[in-house]
A and B are shown apart, each in its own frame.
Chain A
Amino acid sequence: MLASRVFNLVGRRSISTSLCLRAHGHAGVVKAEDYTLPAYVDRRDVPLPEVAFVRNLSAQQQALKEKEKASWSALSVDEKVQLYRIKFNETYAEMNKGTNEWKTILGGALFFLGLTGVILIWQKHFMYAPIPHTFSEEWLSAQTKRMLDMRVNPVEGISAQWDFDKNEWKK
C-alpha cells in the first residue's frame, strides 16, 4: 500500500525502481533493508547495544540460553563468558585497546617530509638561478655598517648591540 501511495505522489516516473518492482511481487510489503534495522555496535558511549552480537544461535548456544533462564548461580564461569560473547563482540578493554597505527602515521609523515626535502635540494641544485649580489659578504657588512651609522633600533635592537666607542659588538 505504501508503494502505491509513493506512486501517486511522484507520478508515473519511478515505476521502474527496484523496490517498487519487489513490492508488486510481495503484495505491497517491502522487505526491510539491513541498514534500516537496529544494529550492533562496539562503542564506549553505547554500553547496551540494540541487538545482541550473535543473531543466529547454534544448537549448543540455544541450549545455553535456555539454561540462562534458570538460576544464574548454576552457570559455570565458562558458560557465563560464553553468554557474554553471544551478547557482545569485544569487551570494553578490547574495544579501548590502542593500536600501533601511530607508528604508521608518523613514519608516513616523516617519509613524505624527507621526500619533500629531497625535491627541495634537487631544485636548489639544478633549477634555481644564483641568489642576488646583495647577499654577498661585502654587501651585507656594508649594509650593517650603514644601519649602525643611522642608529637603527638603538634601544633594544641592532644599534643597542654595538659598542660605538670601541667600534665592536658588545660582549
Chain B
Amino acid sequence: MSAALLPKPQMRRLLARRMKFHLLGAFVLSMGCATLYKFGIAEPRKRAYAEFYKSYDPMKDFEAMERAGVLECAPPK
C-alpha cells in the first residue's frame, strides 16, 4: 500500500461540468460553421453574381449564341 493517498476526485456537479463543456462547444462549433459558410461561400457567391450582372449585356450574349448556331429560334444566316 503506498504511503501517499490519491487526490480526492471531484464528487459533485459532474453533470453540470459536462453540460457546460458541451453546451459551450456546441455553440462555438455551430456558430463557427455558420460564420465560415457565410463568409466563405455565401458572400463570395453574392459578389460574383453582382459583378457579373453589373456589366452584362444580354443582346451581345444573344448575338454570340446566334452566331455559334445553338439557338433553334434564331438559326445562323
Contact = CB atoms under 8 A, between A and B. Distances in A.
A146 B71 CA distance: 11
Q: Helix, strand, loop or mixed for chain A's interface? A: loop
A155 B49 contact: yes
Interface string A74-98: 0001001000000000000000000
Given A80-B1, A146-B70, A155 B65 contact: no
A66 B73 CA distance: 106
**Tier of interface size on chain A:** 10 to 19
Interface of A: 77, 80, 146, 149-151, 154-156, 160, 164
B1 A151 contact: no
B65 A156 contact: no
B65 A149 contact: yes
Contacts of A150: 65, 68, 70
Contact of B48 (A80, A146, A155): A155
Given A80-B1, A164-B64, A155 B70 contact: no
